[in-house]
Structure 1
Amino acid sequence: MNEAAIIPQSEIEVWKLPSRGIVGMACLILAEAAIFIIFVVAYLFYVGKSLSGPTPQDVLSLPIFTSICLLSSSITVHLAVNALHKGARSLCSLWLAATVLLGGIFLAGTGMEWYHLIYHDGLTIRTNLFGTTFYSLVGLHATHVIIGLFMLSLALFFSLRGQLGGSKHTERLEVISLYWHFVDAVWIVVFLVVYVFGR
């Protein structure tokens, strides 16, 4: 007798393929992580080798408030995904709005820092090796923040219109949240390398 006929149907495990979106985002994150590693290594290699000023000690201050805002946004995006899982669309919209706001504050803080560095301290991408590696690394991260904010803003727009719901949209929001968690995790590395160890 066939063994499959003996096993009750309720005990047969159905193998489910992993989400294509999550697998795709995981692959993208691995590729992006490799790029960030190259930029971090370049920054560490050239730090202190500039022949002229300003140096990191002269111009950089710790962006504590904006860092707290960005890292807190990982919590709010997680809460947005959880709310959507539970079907609480209004709560999802609220947490998405908080995430976009916190990310926007971080981006505005980065813009203000760059304005001060360029127009008050005279540090541009062409000033010295520090300027080149600083703007390349922090600018690469800021670009990823902009992309993440764009995706989160789209999700917020659809959520406010009542068009975000169901397992398909929940999975898509999970994919976006993975990207945002990656952006936040990268900032921890950038913060430590540039603003703590690099000074």
Structure 2
Amino acid sequence: MSNTVSTEPEIIYDKQGNPHEVVDFNNDYEGAKLGFWLFLFTEIMIFGAMFLVFGFYLFQNTPEFMQSSGELNRVLGGTNTFILLLSALCMGLSLVKLRNGQPNTSKKFIWATIVLATIFLVIKYIEWSHEIHLGIYPGSPTLNEMENGTKLFFGLYFTMTGLHGLHIIIGIGVMFWVLALINSGKITSTDFVVLENTALYWDLVHLVWVFVFPIFYLIY
């Protein structure tokens, strides 16, 4: 019995008799893109539901929400907005450079994205630390003594920025994985769907913050 593995493509025929090559799922670009877009759709539903909840409570507690918004640091929030927009540019350029056959330059842009994402987290840590130092955090005695609208505002603030921060941490981990795949030759200028999907994920992360920033920081 021969152990030789055939390298000939497997062909199947549809009802009209037209031949179609069977594509290995590991190299199915369309399938990988479709699957990832479905994942992004679930993420949009999660954050979209939170934005709807915010809008509902904003309508009911407008004065408290506006006053609470004025207590946030717009400079730090605006700085983080710029940082994420710049990081999205770097991630996009990393994909462009890889597709142009420049993996080393692509890796440099990925590293730049990682550094910018880390700076974002540090700034958010500074913000949270200041608010927690003032006794403003979910379930704190100080916050519990405040009006219901204020409690709702900061509850949503910590929930949504915390969930967004978790997505950034996950993104950083994925980018390290992508770097390893590029180094091992598993991501190339002709097989780049993993990096492309990572760039899409990072686009979602920065777009969510583009909406989070104005509704929390700029409504007063």
Task: State the TM-score, normalized to the length of structure 1.
Answer: 0.81
RMSD after superposition:
2.7
Note the residue ranges of structure 1 that are not aligned, 5 or more in a row: 1-13
Aligned to 1:153: 176
Q: 1:187 aligns with which of 209, 213, 216?
A: 209
Structure 1 runs of 4+ aligned residues shifted over 3 Å read 14-18, 47-51, 157-164
Q: Report the equivalent of 2:104.
A: 90
CA distance in 2, matches of 1:21, 1:112: 38
Larger-gyration structure (1/2): 2
Selected match of 1:71 from 76, 85, 94: 85
- For the residues of structure 2 that align with 1:135 and 1:44, how far apart are their CA atoms? 16
Question: How far does residue 46 in structure 1 lie from its aligned partner after superposition?
Answer: 2.6
Query: Which residue number in structure 1 is paired with residue 157 of structure 2?
Result: 134
- Cα-to-partner distance string for 1:129-188 (whole Å, 9 max, x where unaligned): 2221111111111111111111012212443566542423x1110011100011111110
Residues in 2 aligned to 1:18 and 1:83: alpha-carbon distance in whole angstroms: 19
* Structure 2 portions without partners, runs of 5+: 1-19, 144-150
For residue 114 of structure 2, the aligned residue among 95, 100, 103 is 100
Relative to structure 1, the CA distance from residue 59 to residue 195 in structure 2 (aligned partners, 3 Å threshold; closer, same or farther) is: closer
Normalising by the residue count of structure 2, what TM-score does the alignment of the two structures yield? 0.74
Verify: 1:24 aligned to 2:35, yes or no.
yes
Distance in 2 (alpha carbons) for counterparts of 1:32 and 1:177: 15
d(CA) in 1 for partners of 2:205, 2:68: 26
Instruction: Read off the aligned partner of 1:30 and give its amino acid letter.
Output: F
Tell me, what secondary structure is at the counterpart of 1:87?
coil
**Alignment identity in percent?**
25
